[in-house]
Amino acid sequence: GAGVSQSPRYKVAKRGQDVALRCDPISGHVSLFWYQQALGQGPEFLTYFQNEAQLDKSGLPSDRFFAERPEGSVSTLKIQRTQQEDSAVYLCASSLDGSGANVLTFGAGSRLTVL
């Protein structure tokens, strides 16, 4: 597609519920990133994929967070047993490669509110 598409745009979950956030990167983009942006803060790195391989998951806050990209295109970020501190905007970004030479294209984000 023309850009990075994320769904849902807004999600309200009760504490303890599981949520799944989807990212459709730009076609042909090898690298895919997830970032978490809390209110009033800059985005924080969560995880990085190159094709289907998850090369870095060091930013995932806890073992309740899980990300996958099984076929090297669409990615899903899953949060189990959501907590209030998980409330944030989750941004997905893709690039041709992960070298840093290519500009990242960000999606509009998925805003998660945990009640």
Partner 1 sequence: KQEVTQIPAALSVPEGENLVLNCSFTDSAIYNLQWFRQDPGKGLTSLLLIQSSQREQTSGRLNASLDKSSGRSTLYIAASQPGDSATYLCAVTNDYKLSFGAGTTVTVRA
Residue 9: count of CB within 10 angstroms of its CB: 12
| Nearest CA among 112, 11, 16, 23 for reference residue 64 | 16
Among 44, 54, 57, 83, binds partner 1 (CB under 8 A): 44
- # residues near partner 1 by CB under 8 A: 26
Confirm or reject binding of residue 39 to partner 1 (CB under 8 A).
Answer: no
Confirm or reject binding of residue 87 to partner 1 (CB under 8 A).
Answer: no
Q: Is the dihedral of CA 64, 84, 108, 99 positive or negative?
A: negative
Residue 29: count of CB within 10 angstroms of its CB: 20
- CB of 17 or CB of 56, closer to partner 1: 56
Binding site for partner 1 (CB under 8 A): 4, 31, 33, 35, 40-45, 48, 56, 91, 93, 98-101, 103-109, 111
